[in-house]
Structure 1
Amino acid sequence: MTTSTEQHRREAPKSVACAIITVSDTRTPETDSSGQLIRQLLEEHGYTVAEYAIVKDEYDGISQLLREAADNPHVEAVLLNGGTGIAGRDTTYEAVRDQLVKEMPGFGEIFRFLSFTEDIGSAAILSRAIAGTIGKTAVFSMPGSTAAVRLAMTRLIVPELGHVMRELYKDK
């Protein structure tokens, strides 16, 4: 017997056009190891990168870039990394949260659980990873460390991205 989740994954698109947004006051395309890792993992699994940008950790800039990516008909998913902590400069969470139409609270919950059990222990409570949708665009926001990106990408985003898109487009 096949579960509905297995059925949905079989029906999911094999490729998704993604935008990568790195939130950082200091990184450049050459030093953005987390953005490079996201690109590598997406491409290894048949997904495409339609856009890539680095933006300073400022609410207005993040919000504008996220809105532009979500409005771009060539982008189906936006993956942000960085700025998700609790420091004064960390504004990614607010910029993403304020634009989401539907939140996927399980992403942040499971990311923190995995971080707690597999990597950083109780410091996982400091993460404000968040995901959801803006219209038909999926949005995932994760911390900026390469370890956090690898965890989010390999355990959550890559395995479910096609499934997420299937759900967003099934009524289209």
Structure 2
Amino acid sequence: MLKNHRQHAKHSVKCAVITVSDTRTKETDKSGKLMIEFLESNGHMVLQYNIIPDEKTIIQETVKGVTSSSDVEAVLINGGTGISSRDVTVEAILPMFDKQIPGFGELFRMLSYQLDIGSASMLSRAIAGVINNKIVFSTPGSRGAVELAMEKLILNELGHAVREVTKDLL
């Protein structure tokens, strides 16, 4: 059954990448660049790339803008998912979700526990959902977290997820 679903998956997804950070620039944003490298080396297109501060209204405005674009099919966000007072990505995008995809965060934390950081994975608030018929993945901002999310989860299901969200649309 899964093979049938994947047969109809999009092979090239048009994406936006957003890095949420108070300190990173395009020169120092290793995680955002890594996301872009993974996407492009797997046949996907990155149409937009933004680095924005960890401010709730700016995150919401940016996500609203990219999910309103008719060109963008998926949004990948890194950063701002921790538990410090400055980490507000989750609070910003969670109320924007039309649908949540709880399995992403659950699987990310499980894999992070098993393969990367052990019990510290419980502090991760990685989430995913659908906004305006666009898939939105939000990962921690560390290179290790981005690599894990991209290799083990996002790249495996990106085309399938986009197809599922859009298959009933006109």
Q: How far off its partner does 1:135 sit? A: 2.2
Q: How does 1:12-161 map to 2 (within 5 A)?
A: 12-161=9-158
> Could you tell me which residue of structure 2 aligns to residue 167 of structure 1?
164
**Matching residue's letter, 1:163:** H
1:11-42 CA distance string (max 9 Å, x none):
11110000000000000001000000000000
Give TM-score scaled by structure 1 length: 0.97
1:53-80 CA distance string (max 9 Å, x none):
0000010000100000000111100000
Q: How far off its partner does 1:136 sit? A: 1.2
Please report the RMSD computed on the Cα atoms of aligned residues, expressed in angstroms: 0.6
Identity over aligned residues, as a percent? Answer: 53
Runs ≥4 in structure 1, deviation > 3 angstroms? none
- Report the Cα distance in structure 2 between the residues aligned to 1:129 and 1:47, rounded to whole angstroms: 22
Q: How far off its partner does 1:8 sit? A: 1.0
**Matching residue's letter, 1:71:** S
Give TM-score scaled by structure 2 length: 0.98
Number of equivalences: 169
Q: How far off its partner does 1:51 sit? A: 0.2
1:92-114 CA distance string (max 9 Å, x none):
01111010010000000000000
Q: How far off its partner does 1:169 sit? A: 1.4
1:76-132 CA distance string (max 9 Å, x none):
000000000000000001111010010000000000000001110100010000001
- Report the Cα distance in structure 1 between the residues aligned to 2:9 and 2:79, rounded to whole angstroms: 28
- Report the Cα distance in structure 2 between the residues aligned to 1:46 and 1:16, rounded to whole angstroms: 8
Q: Mind listing any 5+ residue stretches in structure 1 that lack a counterpart?
A: none
**Matching residue's letter, 1:170:** K
Q: Mind listing any 5+ residue stretches in structure 2 that lack a counterpart?
A: none
